[in-house]
Structure 1
């Protein structure tokens, strides 16, 4: 079991209901033992508070309500009824931060990601806002000038139109690659810092932007190497099945090869999806983080796939309802300026108004969705380590919880 440096700092005291020595209601009246029964008008054994019988009528006391104890299985309470009139569910667990210290379900993972963004918004939102703004400003400039050049040089009546089109296309590819590299760097920086913020939020600790940067900076180059390695591997997996179709100049064979590569690409993407938090929180190397992700995902691929896919659908929906209206308004303004001719040659979509409005929508959407995606990935990593390596013991110790006892019915499994 690796001792993650991200959880090495002391934490706050336990949450309500988990403090050592908390009363469970079986000591009689509040504040101490009940008064002794002695008078002739009272029964020898008093019922619990709130259920007093008439004087002089002996009545056997009811069995005290059984609260969940450490070691009970999930959903079992050791008695015929759950607490508060038979409400069943998971037993309460220590929750020093945004998640309870036990295996998590889908709702708890999503809630933990949103709760972190809501609680620590002064740190989370500025990071994603700055990264999204820089990326979108560069993207607007690239689209404005490269796409405008393509539209201008695409005149079929010119004798050198083909040469000009290739030259413009080459310049556009260079600009697009530069824009993609800036997006890559921005995403890596944001992911690294958000990972550190979420790791501390699990313990109930806040992080400043400076603290998150200092903790993430030593691993940035390794995270860049990991990202480039995964991207290169994805390109190779896609290109190899496409080669026969490209060499034979057959669109059908190329499409079939691409479809054949898609399941393998998805499988490997999920297999190594936890490599980034493993690299950042365990301070490991690129290869070690890939191996760690493979081991943590093993046996839980479909569960991680479902949570990741649902998160992607949620963030895509949120982005769509923010970006599409602003994009539509921008296109309407571009059409009003250039008319039908602008729609035909593409200049209506490359005007300043549509580009800026689309970029504003993208900035807002990325500022909101980037923390959710990063948070779900980090919490999936924490959840898998709790299930396989009893990381909850380590987290409880780092949070300063005393007398913490994990669920004995769910022992950690090797993996």
Structure 2
């Protein structure tokens, strides 16, 4: 009978008694080929830990292996779900493994401060316009009325003495000189109207970007506060919003130039084919540039960057996520287009009544005024949505790339 507490040391016989603290004698190498127990004991490393420093395991009843029938008898059957559901209450009662739900992202404003989905961006843009509708619609309506009024007056005065291009094209006695003059005057009027509208969109975009950035932090913005915040950057914003369309126009011109030159040389069919291929390629390149630099405006307004620096910033944020940014921007364009068409339907009916159902006098003052009112309505609804989507997409990309959510949490806490 062995009275030594703890485990027995490995040896040739379990009946041999050994002193509890006496170290074992090393087994000679010539005895390693003895019994099986001796062979197993010779595989231990020569340097063993000293005796008395390793505690023995507590007495645990031996685990017996149960048969399938015994396990089936001990199983009470399928567990019924907790009638009070799975959630914090179940965790507080010591439920299923004390599971607790993951912590929710903080949401001081219109979005939770975490990476957003596509639907969340569109929904947050609409929510921003709905929550701060006075500021959003006030800014866009004031600028749309001002710019559209000037554009309507310029269009009415510019095209009043300009012959209609369609009538000149149908005439057989028109000279090339008259046709070129009419084209030049038409392009000049369109360019002036476009420049006036661009100025309004620049101011509206700058002010709305400030409003959306404050809405993310849960703050409201007045029209005066938005103007004071956006005014220092309007010059740079004007340069940016003129440079980007010029880049796209230059790409389109280069794509069409070769085909037009070949057609002018006499090979009209080959020139038309080249112009078609070049046009498709230039359109694809223009869309790529538009998406690549689509986040330059919020970078310029919110980070106080320069024109070139904001374009580089946008390219960095879009890199690796071009298709995602393209999808969100395309959804925003489709949404604003549908809303604008619905808003302009009544004005289209009024315009057809005013013009008598004829397109012969599209430059008359009543027709231009009705068309201008429809443009004001569509611009008032489109400006806030597109600006909000762009600002939220910029914020989402920075949260994904640069952990902007941590800075926003601190800014929201400091503001409160």
TM-score, normalised with respect to structure 1: 0.70
- 2: CA distance between counterparts of 1:259 and 1:177? 24
User: Is contact 2:108–2:216 with CA below 8 Å preserved after alignment?
Assistant: yes
Say whether residues 1:219 and 2:233 are aligned partners. Answer: yes
**Secondary structure at the counterpart of residue 112 of structure 2:** coil
Shift of residue 333, structure 1, vs aligned partner:
2.3
Quick check: 281-290 or 381-390, which moved more?
A: 281-290
**Secondary structure at the counterpart of residue 149 of structure 1:** coil
- 1: CA distance between counterparts of 2:381 and 2:323? 26
User: Is contact 1:279–1:285 with CA below 8 Å preserved after alignment?
Assistant: yes
Quick check: 228-237 or 199-208, which moved more?
A: 228-237
Shift of residue 332, structure 1, vs aligned partner:
2.7
Q: Quote the residue 1:106 is aligned against.
A: 118
Q: Quote the residue 2:130 is aligned against.
A: 118
User: Is contact 2:154–2:189 with CA below 8 Å preserved after alignment?
Assistant: yes
- 1: CA distance between counterparts of 2:194 and 2:259? 27
Shift of residue 176, structure 1, vs aligned partner:
2.2
Q: Quote the residue 2:148 is aligned against.
A: 136
CA distances 1:220-258 after superposition (whole Å, capped 9, x unpaired): 111112122212211221111211112112222112111
Gaps of at least 5 residues in structure 2 are 1-82, 264-270
User: Is contact 1:114–1:372 with CA below 8 Å preserved after alignment?
Assistant: yes
User: Is contact 1:150–1:169 with CA below 8 Å preserved after alignment?
Assistant: no
- 1: CA distance between counterparts of 2:325 and 2:194? 27
**Secondary structure at the counterpart of residue 279 of structure 1:** helix
Q: Quote the residue 1:278 is aligned against.
A: 299
- 1: CA distance between counterparts of 2:173 and 2:88? 97
Shift of residue 170, structure 1, vs aligned partner:
3.1
Q: 1:311 aligns with which of 332, 336, 344?
A: 332
Quick check: 353-362 or 208-217, which moved more?
A: 353-362
Say whether residues 1:236 and 2:233 are aligned partners. Answer: no
User: Is contact 2:91–2:98 with CA below 8 Å preserved after alignment?
Assistant: no
**Superposition map of 1:394-409 within 5 A:** 394-400=407-413
Check 1:167–1:236 CA distance in 2 against 1; reply closer, same or farther (3 A cut).
closer
**Secondary structure at the counterpart of residue 299 of structure 1:** coil
Q: 2:139 aligns with which of 117, 127, 137?
A: 127
User: Is contact 1:146–1:168 with CA below 8 Å preserved after alignment?
Assistant: no
User: Is contact 1:149–1:168 with CA below 8 Å preserved after alignment?
Assistant: no
- 1: CA distance between counterparts of 2:338 and 2:201? 20
**Superposition map of 1:192-211 within 5 A:** 192-211=206-225
Backbone CA RMSD of aligned residues? 2.9
**Secondary structure at the counterpart of residue 161 of structure 2:** helix
**Secondary structure at the counterpart of residue 90 of structure 2:** coil
Check 1:324–1:286 CA distance in 2 against 1; reply closer, same or farther (3 A cut).
same
Say whether residues 1:355 and 2:368 are aligned partners. Answer: yes
CA distances 1:75-106 after superposition (whole Å, capped 9, x unpaired): xxx979887xxxxxx86321111111111112
Q: 1:298 aligns with which of 319, 322, 330?
A: 319
- More contact order relative to length (CA 8 Å, sep ≥ 6): 1
- 2: CA distance between counterparts of 1:170 and 1:113? 40
Q: Quote the residue 1:65 is aligned against.
A: 90
User: Is contact 1:242–1:258 with CA below 8 Å preserved after alignment?
Assistant: yes
CA distances 1:264-301 after superposition (whole Å, capped 9, x unpaired): 21112111111110111111111211111111111111
- 2: CA distance between counterparts of 1:63 and 1:94? 18
Shift of residue 152, structure 1, vs aligned partner:
6.6
- 1: CA distance between counterparts of 2:247 and 2:120? 32
Aligned residues: 319
Shift of residue 168, structure 1, vs aligned partner:
4.4
Check 1:308–1:91 CA distance in 2 against 1; reply closer, same or farther (3 A cut).
farther
- 2: CA distance between counterparts of 1:218 and 1:162? 48
- 2: CA distance between counterparts of 1:282 and 1:138? 32
Say whether residues 1:369 and 2:390 are aligned partners. Answer: no
**Secondary structure at the counterpart of residue 398 of structure 1:** helix
Q: Quote the residue 2:391 is aligned against.
A: 378
Runs of 4+ in structure 1 deviating by more than 6 angstroms, as ranges, are 78-83, 155-161
Shift of residue 390, structure 1, vs aligned partner:
0.6
Check 1:152–1:173 CA distance in 2 against 1; reply closer, same or farther (3 A cut).
closer
- 2: CA distance between counterparts of 1:375 and 1:302? 19
Check 1:203–1:243 CA distance in 2 against 1; reply closer, same or farther (3 A cut).
same
